[in-house]
Chains A and B, each alone.
Chain A
Amino acid sequence: MTGDILYRLRGPAAGPGPGAHRSRDTGGLGVFRDQVPFWRHPDARRIDLRATLRDPFEGTVVRRFEQRRALEVWALVDLSASMRFRGAGAAWDLVTELCIALARSATRIGDAFGLVGCGAGPDLMLPASRRRGTADVVAERLAATRPQGMSADGLLAAASSLAGRRKLVAVVSDFRLPDALTGALFDRLQGHDVVPVAIEDGALDEGLPAFGQIELEDLEGGGRRRVLMRPSLRTRWLAREAERRDSLRRLALRHGRPPYRLADRFDGDDFSRHLLGTAA
């Protein structure tokens, strides 16, 4: 089935219970990890006979196996009004699809999925849950939500609330935020595996018209501006966008993974490739 997202945590997982992800914990089952003396791991069922016989100091050696753990996947969603943008794709629909797919994929393999949506303050909160119906709940809640925050300052507070064990946190935003806010947000999420998902749109990129005049209106109440499009301005616009994207990439790389560009339509396989490819 398409749309299922495969992901891997950067580093070992430290979830609440057994699950699908590699961790530092050792347990009785799973992939062989190492051999330790019996006194360190007094589990008579796992005595490695060959290694015990081979040991020149006649110690008893026990095999240890890697315990696989579950983890919590969180989506931190920007609910500022700019997420309402509709261009070649609709930003909010993309966010909805992404979150549903994440929730479904997470709960399918026993991970918990939680969601925090923030505009100027925290507006939408779904505690992490491993229930199978989580994706439906997420779909319902997101369909009922209309992003209309005048800023995304609530993201900071929400990031602080995601304390504790290491989690996979997808930060879903268009990242048209002040640089200071983005930096602070990444800093607060320091302990987690942060996947920035930048919602973009082809209409504001390669799809920009080369000629004509447009009256633009800021979705977040920043007024209106008439723009006379022409090739030189389009070039400058694109250069500016590329520069913004580049600075976001550099900032994100400093904290882990590069941002994933989600534009126009959601492709789960592509997102999986990104998640697996940047997990190393």
Chain B
Amino acid sequence: MTAGLMALVSRFGVTAPAWLWLLPLALMPLVASSQKRIPVPSLAMVPADGLSRLVDAVLTLAGMAAIGFLILALAGPHLVGESLMRTGEGAQISLLIDRSGSMNETFAGRQPSGPEESKAAASRRILEGFVGRRAHDLVAVSAFSTSPMAVLPMTDRHDAVRAAIRAIDRPGLEATNVARGLGLALAQFGPGAPQASRVLLLVSDGAAIIDRRVQPTLREEFAKIRPTLYWLFLRTAGSPGLGDRPAGEDTPQAAPERHLDLFFKSLGVPYRAFEAESAQAVEEAIREIDRQERKPISYTERRPQRDLTGFAYGLAALAMALLLAAKLAETDLAVRASASRPAASRETRRAA
């Protein structure tokens, strides 16, 4: 309780502290009063009265509060924003999305027409839902085609993430360079929160050869970060699957998907590939990932700065309402109009 109060006080701040120099004015009700003071011969004639003393104390305090809170309100009080470390259920998810030209095609390998949707649009639709579902996920978005693009760093702002995902069905570019994309997606995890579950979700519709020279670096990175790797393979109808051996020579050039799959399996991190040939299949794959990646994660909750000006004005208004009520309840002794008095004394003097 006290600690909570202390925390609250330590977060308190004002925008224009110069106004606070006026705060001694709040002591004015101790010496002055808005009411008419009625002189009486002696206060000893007034019986002691507890209720009157209470009312006096309350009104004095109300006067001080009215002035004090008005000045405080002018100074612009607020609670400073802060970030809190919380623990929730979720994962650090690094999305790596293929932006190659083929993503613009439908699962049937055509340009989308009518009600059909492109692979990019389908993945966009489904990933959007995936991101919103869990509140405490940290998500980073990267895209790759010829070169990788860091779209969004690791964040819990799901609006931003959804906006980034919405952008992935823009027409893509040329080729597919998986290796550099993976490098970037791994770099997105960054340091910190080692206990959190890390997920690297690769969405692509094809593969490319990973240069042998890059492979050791990638392995090293994977070994260091140890993410769970999911490959959402948006397979175009009729194209070779992950398990299909090519008819001819089994080289990376001939069957890049198969060899990428093999490379992933050899990384030593939890790995799962989903071969999705339709939008429904993609959705199922996403649901599967959603089900599996639930571990405690520490995340930062940001509390925005809270403006207390209205609150201060409200309190001042309350105090002033009290004072106004007291003012309206003010009464007077039955004082006769003093006009008749000098006339009487003139008469007496004349008589004298």
Q: How far is the CA of A265 from the CA of B335 in the complex (A)?
A: 13
Given known pairs A204-B40, A214-B331, the reply for A90 and B338 (CB within 8 Å) is yes
State the CA gap A90–B336 with chains docked (Å).
9
Please determine whether A240 and B333 come into contact, CB atoms closer than 8 angstroms.
Answer: no
C-beta contact mask, A145-189 vs B, less than 8 Å → 1, else 0? 000000000000000000000000000001010000000000000
Interface size class of A (residues with CB under 8 A): 35 or more
B326 at the interface (CB under 8 A from A): yes
Q: Is A213 within 8 A of B43, CB to CB?
A: no
**Chain A hits for B36, CB < 8 A:** 215
Interface of A is mostly: mixed
Q: How far is the CA of A215 from the CA of B31 in the complex (A)?
A: 13
Query: What residues on B are CB-neighbors of A229 within 8 Å?
Result: 331
With a cutoff of 8 Å between Cβ atoms, the chain A residues found around residue B338 in the complex are 86, 90
Within 8 A of A (CB), among B312-352: 326, 329-336, 338, 341, 344-345, 348-349, 351-352
Q: For residue A214, which residues in chain B have a CB less than 8 angstroms away from its CB?
A: 38, 330-333
Chain A stretch 91-141: residues in CB contact (< 8 A) with chain B: 91, 93, 96-97, 100-101, 103-104, 135-136, 139
Cα(A244)–Cα(B41), bound, Å? 14
For A105, the closest partner residue in chain B by CB is: B352
**Which among B37, B42, B331, B335 is the interface contact of A86 at CB below 8 angstroms?**
B335
Given A82-B42, A236-B47, are A88 and B37 also a contact pair (CB < 8 Å)? no
Given known pairs A240-B45, A241-B45, the reply for A203 and B348 (CB within 8 Å) is no
- In the complex, chain A residues whose CB is within 8 Å of the CB of B38: 214-217
Point out the residue from A1, A104, A174, A202 that lies within 8 Å of B41, measured CB to CB: A174
Interface residues of B (CB under 8 A from A): 33, 35-47, 49, 51-52, 55-56, 59, 326, 329-336, 338, 341, 344-345, 348-349, 351-352
Q: A220-B42, A227-B49, A265-B344 are in contact. List 5 more A-B contacts (CB 8 A).
A: A139-B349, A176-B41, A211-B331, A213-B55, A218-B39
Closest 7 CB pairs of A and B: A212-B331, A82-B41, A207-B334, A135-B352, A226-B56, A203-B333, A217-B37
